[in-house]
Structure 1
Amino acid sequence: MKNRKLRTKITMRVGILLILGGVILNIVVKNIIDYSSNNTIKNDMTIQQNNSTEFINQYFMINGKALDKQTFISNSPMIAMKLSEYDNSTIGIYDVNGELQYQSVNGEVNKSINTHIEQAKNNKAYIYFTQENNEYKGYFAYPFYFNEEFLGIVEIVRDYKEIVTNNRNIYLLFTLVESFFFLIILILTYLIMRKSTRPIENLLNGVREISKGNYGYEVLEHTNRDEISDLAYEYNKMRKKIKKQIELTHHLEKNRRDFFCNITHELKTPLTSISGYAELLQSNFDNEKFRKQAISSIEEESAKLNSMISSILEVSRGQILSKEKSEFNIGKMLNEVSEEMKIRNNNSIKVKLNIETCNIIGIYDEIKSLLLNLLENAYKYSIEYGEIEIIGQKEKGNYNIAISNKSSNLTADFKEKAFEPFMRGENAEDSDGNGLGLYICKLIVEEHNGDIIIDITDNVVKVDVKLTCL
């Protein structure tokens, strides 16, 4: 079953609230209009009562007649007709017992209605309202007094169709305008919600794409800064981080597979050599010269194997971060390591130094191992009677180490894989290296939040290391 969209749900709920609000508002407005209509009719009847009372008094005064029960009843036809003509209403004159004496009819009158007459007999002015055949009539009766004497009852029947119709038209117009505005509000609500929820739909699509493994799906970040745009920003930030972590995981997994494949290959060579010499020794014990050569070869291969295993353990032990960091002078260390390597290696190679002093915070033994590895490679791959240039300089908060030498057996392709494990130059067969030196150097530099790059141009190999200085 397909779920309703959020904007549809919200629009429906707003619509329900608008309908409920409209019903309540219509009831209130209708009551107000009805109340206003009733007050208008009551006020009109009060005016008619005052006017008719004044008219009757003036009639008898002008005609010089005494006003009493007898004259009131005897003049009822004239009074009724004059009042009916004057007020455009039906006028009835009743005696004190509620008996009709004369009625001047204007329009249709329901003569069966006498509730107002009965109330007037009891000394009450009373209005009775009727609706018949689209006719709206007000039946009003009041007791007529003169000099505090009850002379009879005056009935006034008026048509209020115009007032009622106008009020109903006002109510209908209000309902139509109200419905129109509510419809506009509902449409605007839907449009606003559609625009507002579109980024949420994009986010939902983004989450679905991530669940499918597509980490390149980017959600558009809107310029208006609100919770949804912040959510889109955080989503993109999370997506990039996940993508980076996944790529890093895949890269590490690939490196792990390659590393162990290389380990298998690299360990197999000396082990095969040792195993071969051991088998030969078992069958050639009488040849002392061969025996010494075999033992020497076994010792040499064992030393290589031991060196390789030590390097592998150095890579895999993961203890760099656990060591305590301290502050030391890397310029001084670089000078000392340079002098040490000059003594240990071929004196035919010239060393040119340009080293500034600078303090850094790092793991002393690891940084020294880094420098020894780099200089050892420089000596190893330098041409005979060549020159090694060692530069250590402070620049913009960093300490830059540049070691360069001229080599005849390294290609530009070497630099692309120089920091991979078990990567060696073309003279590897003539050296005791195991191809893990630069790989270890890279690990050390990265653990110190630094950077290391290698460049080979016109047989000149240059290694640049950047570390943060104090």
Structure 2
Amino acid sequence: MKIKYKFTLIITVIMIFLGLSLNISVRKILKDNMENSIINSLKEVTKSARESIKYTLSIRDYIFKDIALVQEADYLIEYISLNYESKLRICDVNGKVISSNLSEDYIEFSENLNEINEGKTIVNIKYSKNSLTGLISYPLIINQSYIGIINLTKDYSILFMEYKKAINTLTLIEISLIIFIFFISYRLTNKIVKPIETLTYASKKLSEGNYNINIDIKGNDEISILSKEFINMKTKIQEQILEIEKEKEKVEKLALSRKIFFDTVTHELKTPLTSIMGYSEMIIQNIVDDENFKVHALDRIYSESNRLNKLVLEIINISKGLSSINEEFISMDIAPLIESISSDMNIKAKKYNLNIYTILESGEISIKANKIKEVLINLLDNAIKYSIESTIIIVNSYICDNFYIIDIINEANPIPDYVYQHIFEPFVKSNTSEDLSSTGLGLYLCKEIIKEHDGIIKLDNGDTIISTIKLPLSNNHNKSIINN
């Protein structure tokens, strides 16, 4: 049960209890006053009637007053009835009726005979539905002589009706007062409880994570102060949650940055390792017997090892917060770089019965050589990984609309559509066996590197896969064709 209903019910029960108690008390007081008035009235009538009887019997000069009472009984009844608006009967000392004008026989008169004979006056009040009758019985003693009994009745119905009217009016007033107090108490309780209900609702919404709540605050009472403090608390919680969310975003970004950094480092390390492994494998297996090639291979192994060593030292410095991998842009002819990378990757391609064929055009562009080298190695590595066996991988470069364009073309099975639609997003890869060791970051990092060079990278899907890089030219460039 809601608290406002409890308060209203409690107040109503208390008011009903107080109303009933007051009604019963007032009823008793009014009834006691009415009965005391009736008793006093009957005593006055009795006193007057006794004097009238005494006077009547005295002036008749009867020797025996009891005989005189019998003879004057009818006259006395008529006289007293007319003067005192009452009815009565006169009995002898044994209770035998001498004369009477009563319309009914009241049993109370017979029951009180012994007490009357003892000299007592007995008063009774008899109630009926809409009438009230006062009864009084008293011994008639004249000159110390007990000569008879007077039983007198007087109608007090008018007084009784006034009493009932007063009681009914009082009851109506009390009921009206209870209803009025119930209404006022309900309004007051509702006024007190409504802000609490509002706070309860707001607290529930707050616990559900809804902070877009407001409370209309009026006044300076305790409830208003509580509401203001609740709003302040809500605001502080909201601010703290926003701060926590910001910190969470920072942590997530930091974690992602670390992940991308280490994956980038992996690809940075992959570039020299690919050359070192390729040339080492050819020397160990004595694939080429040309001494000049062996010298060239050893020179490349040395230079790439030296580069690998520098990368490792740079990573150590970065882990200590002393440095960061940062390469400067240099203007250079990119064709020899493409030729060198294609030559290195061709060693790996031949292991899979593939061959890399280059058609290169010179072009002067501003690049970070190692970064572009990483992109080309990644794209050629993908071409080798997914090409159909015994096919040719073509590396074609040319100048068009102030852009130096590099196309890497290979025959392969089409890339699944769900992968192709997100091919340059991080951590996207297919579920083929070739991709089990892949992080899914290669093409994403390539896109970021090309974006850093203000270039464009795209990939055309189908039975023939074409990876295209577009890099802006420097102001001056030369043209020449290189065929392998």
Q: Which runs of 5+ in 1 are unaligned?
A: 313-428, 430-470
Alpha carbons of structure 1 residues 7 and 111: separation in structure 2 relative to 1, 3 Å = closer
Aligned equivalents of 2:198, 2:190: Cα separation in 1: 12
Aligned equivalents of 1:265, 1:131: Cα separation in 2: 106
CA deviation profile, 1:255-306 (whole Å, cap 9, x unmatched): 1221111122233334433342344345379568766654553444334322
Q: Shift in Å at residue 113 of structure 1?
A: 5.0
Alignment of 1:204-215 (within 5 A): 204-215=200-211
Alpha carbons of structure 1 residues 78 and 67: separation in structure 2 relative to 1, 3 Å = farther
Aligned equivalents of 2:305, 2:248: Cα separation in 1: 40
CA deviation profile, 1:127-175 (whole Å, cap 9, x unmatched): 2333346332222110122232212112211001111111111111100
Could you say which structure has the larger radius of gyration? Answer: 2
Please state if 1:102 is matched with 2:112: no
Give 3-state SS (helix, strand or coil) of 1:114's partner: helix
Aligned equivalents of 2:132, 2:17: Cα separation in 1: 31
Alpha carbons of structure 1 residues 67 and 89: separation in structure 2 relative to 1, 3 Å = farther
Which of residues 150, 157, 161 is equivalent to 1:154?
150
Which of residues 230, 238, 244 is equivalent to 2:233?
238
Q: What residue identity is the alignment partner of 1:150?
A: Y
Give 3-state SS (helix, strand or coil) of 1:75's partner: helix
Check whether the contact 2:131–2:161 (CA below 8 A) recurs between aligned residues. Answer: no
Q: Shift in Å at residue 81 of structure 1?
A: 1.8
Check whether the contact 2:95–2:110 (CA below 8 A) recurs between aligned residues. Answer: no
Q: Which runs of 5+ in 2 are unaligned?
A: 281-293, 323-451, 453-484
Partner of residue 43, structure 1? 40
Q: Shift in Å at residue 117 of structure 1?
A: 5.3
Please state if 1:256 is matched with 2:254: no
Aligned equivalents of 1:84, 1:22: Cα separation in 2: 43
Please state if 1:28 is matched with 2:25: yes
Please state if 1:92 is matched with 2:102: no
Aligned equivalents of 2:33, 2:64: Cα separation in 1: 37
Alignment of 1:38-437 (within 5 A): 38-61=35-58, 68-105=65-102, 108-110=103-105, 114-115=109-110, 118=113, 119-132=115-128, 134-226=130-222, 228-281=223-276, 283=279, 286=295, 293-294=303-304, 296-311=306-321
Structure 1 vs Structure 2 CA RMSD? 3.0
Aligned equivalents of 1:121, 1:134: Cα separation in 2: 33
Aligned equivalents of 2:100, 2:48: Cα separation in 1: 18
Check whether the contact 2:39–2:134 (CA below 8 A) recurs between aligned residues. Answer: no
Alpha carbons of structure 1 residues 231 and 291: separation in structure 2 relative to 1, 3 Å = same
Q: What residue identity is the alignment partner of 2:263?
A: K
TM-score, normalisation: structure 1? 0.59
Aligned equivalents of 1:251, 1:308: Cα separation in 2: 26
Query: How many equivalent pairs are there?
Result: 308
Give 3-state SS (helix, strand or coil) of 1:130's partner: strand
Give 3-state SS (helix, strand or coil) of 1:39's partner: helix
CA deviation profile, 1:33-88 (whole Å, cap 9, x unmatched): 22222212111112122222222333345556667333233322222222111101
Alpha carbons of structure 1 residues 158 and 67: separation in structure 2 relative to 1, 3 Å = farther
Aligned equivalents of 1:232, 1:311: Cα separation in 2: 50
CA deviation profile, 1:214-250 (whole Å, cap 9, x unmatched): 1121223332321x33332332233223222322222
Aligned equivalents of 1:311, 1:267: Cα separation in 2: 15
Give 3-state SS (helix, strand or coil) of 2:320's partner: helix
Alpha carbons of structure 1 residues 61 and 307: separation in structure 2 relative to 1, 3 Å = farther
Aligned equivalents of 1:103, 1:139: Cα separation in 2: 14
Check whether the contact 2:275–2:300 (CA below 8 A) recurs between aligned residues. Answer: no
Aligned equivalents of 1:311, 1:290: Cα separation in 2: 31
Check whether the contact 1:80–1:92 (CA below 8 A) recurs between aligned residues. Answer: yes
Give 3-state SS (helix, strand or coil) of 1:188's partner: helix
Give 3-state SS (helix, strand or coil) of 1:154's partner: strand
Give 3-state SS (helix, strand or coil) of 2:226's partner: helix
Aligned equivalents of 1:257, 1:63: Cα separation in 2: 131
Alpha carbons of structure 1 residues 291 and 199: separation in structure 2 relative to 1, 3 Å = same
Alpha carbons of structure 1 residues 179 and 156: separation in structure 2 relative to 1, 3 Å = same
Q: What residue identity is the alignment partner of 1:210?
A: L
Q: Shift in Å at residue 9 of structure 1?
A: 3.0
Aligned equivalents of 1:20, 1:63: Cα separation in 2: 64
Give 3-state SS (helix, strand or coil) of 1:311's partner: coil
Aligned equivalents of 1:133, 1:205: Cα separation in 2: 58
Partner of residue 14, structure 1? 11
Alpha carbons of structure 1 residues 221 and 307: separation in structure 2 relative to 1, 3 Å = farther
